[in-house]
Amino acid sequence: MTWSAYEQEVKDKNNFEIKGIGLSAKITNNIFVGLSYSETNLDIYYHDTLYDEPVQLDSLRLRFGYLF
């Protein structure tokens, strides 16, 4: 989503940080499954309006794989 009035405003991303944890397990000799969680935090600073917006993005991933 973008605000049409502020599409061209200059932005900086500050205090970028990613942290997470994951786990994988073998089901058979050739098949595995994994689950991971990550959290990304950053600040977006808008120069024209002098607004600092904190953003947090959470991600949960489920993986299946085959080993050749």
Domain residue spans of the chain: 8-66
- Which residues are registered as beta bridge partners of 18? 40
Read off the pLDDT of residues 14-65 as tens digits, 9 standing for 90 and up: 888 999 999 999 999 999 999 999 999 998 888 888 888 899 999 999 999 9
Identify the pLDDT of residue 44.
Answer: 87
Q: What is residue 20's DSSP assignment?
A: E
CB-based contact 9:47 (threshold 8 Å): yes
Identify the pLDDT of residue 5.
Answer: 59
Q: 3 pLDDT exceeds 80?
A: no
Measure the N-to-C terminal CA separation of the chain; round to a whole number of Å.
42
Identify the pLDDT of residue 1.
Answer: 53
CB-based contact 66:31 (threshold 8 Å): yes
